[in-house]
Amino acid sequence: MNTFEVRKLKNELASAAALACVILALIPLMYILFEVVKTGAPAISWQFLTSRTVGTGGPGEGIGNAILGTLLLLFYASLIGIPVGLLTGIYVSEYGNNRIGYTIRFFNDVLANFPSIVIGLLAYALVVDLMRLGFSLIAGSFALAIIMIPIVSNTTEEALRMVPNSLREGALALGVPRWRATLKVVLSNGRNGVATGTLLAIARIAGETAPLILTAFYSSYWSASLTEPIASLPVTIFRNYNSPSKVLLEQAWGAALVLIMIVLSINISVRLLLRNRTSNGKREVMKTWKARLSRKA
């Protein structure tokens, strides 16, 4: 074998090894999906989805209160997290070419990769401890909101940066004040990117468990009160995963199936919506504006 053949062989071995890495990483994903659907699906029924967890493993139990709790947590977290993240993103993208802007962006980058349990501790320190509200829906929502903020703000910033400067200049040249230009022209053109980021942030916090154990805790009753502990799908899984009771274990798997459906359907639909937009987003923006302008003329 001469040198050339050795090099060719090396090349093929390395390519095969890289492909093997990809396949090896996909096995767990497929296996998890398979296992959750296989074990979780038999548990699902209308009654299972609409009755509350009693916790004794008796007949007629379900995860309805956990589904409601997760939806409420997502709603209140979005109520805080989306506006704050959005405005932060606007500041960093439109006014942030200075020291404060860099500081905020850097801090948000770091916060986005922070362990969620630490964020749970922060929310505990404020809402449960300092404000004396105890384990509650509001504490859980606050923790999830802090996790959301950097995700929403980073994607908002990226989306607004895709908007060409000529649009900003055009608006200003027409005498539009800068704040209106930012809201009406820049933000409305970046709205797809902003919506994507928001949806991904919601998908991300839907599965967060550790911060909820520290803040929202758990309740086996129907509850929508802001100051009461509340159940959620991830915490239901954690409480029941090790249970000797077959019914409770079934609840864990059923909750896992519902949760993974929520998370994956958001991720996949965002991906399908975005497929054509990311690569030629800028061109699209220009095209729609040109069309709009020519229609008016």
Question: Binding to other proteins (CB under 8 A): which residues in 144-203?
Answer: 146, 149-150, 153, 160-165, 168-169, 172, 177-179, 182, 186, 203
Tell me which of 79, 125, 173, 291 binds other proteins, using CB under 8 A: 125
Of the candidate spans 32-40, 59-67, 219-227, 289-297, the one that interacts with other proteins by CB under 8 A turns out to be 32-40
User: Cα dihedral angle (253, 52, 46, 57), rounded to 10 degrees?
Assistant: 50
Q: Rule CB under 8 A: is residue 15 a binding residue for other proteins? A: yes
Question: What would the x/- binding string for other proteins be over residues 211 to 230, using CB under 8 A?
Answer: --xx--x-------------
Q: Rule CB under 8 A: is residue 25 a binding residue for other proteins? A: yes
Distance (Å, rounded) from C-alpha 258 to C-alpha 256? 6
Rank residues 3 and 295 by Cβ distance to other proteins and give the closer one. Answer: 3
Contacts within 8 Å (CB) and 24+ apart, 128-131: 128/215
* 257: nearest Cα among 236, 231, 273, 230: 236
Question: What would the x/- binding string for other proteins be over residues 42 to 71, using CB under 8 A?
Answer: ------------------------------
Q: Rule CB under 8 A: is residue 237 a binding residue for other proteins? A: yes
* CB of 200 closer than 8 Å to CB of 147: no
Shortest gap between Cβ of 94 and other proteins (angstroms)? 5
Q: Rule CB under 8 A: is residue 238 a binding residue for other proteins? A: yes
Which H or E run contains 52? none
Tell me which of 75, 95, 221, 222 binds other proteins, using CB under 8 A: 95
Distance (Å, rounded) from C-alpha 209 to C-alpha 218? 11
Mark 111-134 as b/e (b = at least 16 C-beta within 10 Å).
beeeebeebbbbbbeebbeeeebe
Residue holding tokens 């509200």?
133
How many residues bind other proteins (CB under 8 A)? The answer is: 101
Q: Rule CB under 8 A: is residue 32 a binding residue for other proteins? A: yes
Q: Rule CB under 8 A: is residue 244 a binding residue for other proteins? A: no
Rank residues 30 and 297 by Cβ distance to other proteins and give the closer one. Answer: 30
Distance (Å, rounded) from C-alpha 71 to C-alpha 67? 6
